[in-house]
């Protein structure tokens, strides 16, 4: 048996878990850098996923607590669409090499794969040709070549440059 060491995971395992709704609580705290909030719109905000499928995995989240897609207001739909479009543009200009594609979508409900099923959110996942290798298949592990802090700083600077 081969062993894969990810010693940094112990910090996550031993850290206290957040109680409440992260998507309600994080923007209310106004600690955007610490919470990886990249941008704020009128109805939604853009946040880096701390459990990313790939580097640059972002989420667009309405401020209003809802898990019902059909309950989104017209203003929330518009802001979600605007932020997601800007996020794709930013990722194309920032990530090197540029992504070959994107997965954009929602997992509505736990049965659909939602990790936070009480508050809907739109995922934006940059994809590169060949980014699915043996690690996720054989070791149930994804390799992320950059820390979340470095990714946040780079994307935040890019957002400010493009949309600031």
Residue 48 three-state SS: strand
Sheet holding 44-48, edge to edge: 37-40, 44-48, 58-62, 122-127, 101-105
What's the pLDDT at 130? Answer: 78
Which letter does DSSP use for residue 53 in this model?
A: S
Asked if 121 is an active-site residue, the reply is yes
Tell me the domains of the chain and their CATH numbers: 22-163 (3.30.428.10)
Chain centroid to Cα 103, Å, comes to 12
Extract the residue ranges of the chain whose pLDDT is less than 70. Answer: 1-13, 132-145
What's the pLDDT at 5? Answer: 56
- The two structure tokens encoding residue 116: 């936070």
- Nearest CA to 121 among 73, 64, 55, 41? 64
Q: Round to whole Å and give the CA distance between 121 and 139.
A: 28
Q: Which pLDDT tens digit goes with each residue over 108-134?
A: 999 998 889 999 999 999 999 877 654
What's the pLDDT at 134? Answer: 46
> Is 104 in contact with 88 (CB distance < 8 Å)?
yes
Q: Which of 57, 119, 121, 123 is catalytic?
A: 121
């Amino acid at each position: 048996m081969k062993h894969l060491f990810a010693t940094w995971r112990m910090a996550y395992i031993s850290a206290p878990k957040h109680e409440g709704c992260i998507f309600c609580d994080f923007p209310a705290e106004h600690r955007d850098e610490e919470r990886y909030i990249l941008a704020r719109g009128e109805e939604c905000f853009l946040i880096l996923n701390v459990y990313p499928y790939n580097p640059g995995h972002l989420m667009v989240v309405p401020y209003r607590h809802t898990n019902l897609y059909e309950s989104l207001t017209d203003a929330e739909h518009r802001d979600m669409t605007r932020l997601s479009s800007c996020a794709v543009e930013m990722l194309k200009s920032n990530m090197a090499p540029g992504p070959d594609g994107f997965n954009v979508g929602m997992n509505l409900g736990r049965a659909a794969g939602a990790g936070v099923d009480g508050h809907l959110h739109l995922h934006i996942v940059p994809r590169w040709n060949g980014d699915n290798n043996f690690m996720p298949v054989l070791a149930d592990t994804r390799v992320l070549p950059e820390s979340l802090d470095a990714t946040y700083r780079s994307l935040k600077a890019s957002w400010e440059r493009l949309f600031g």
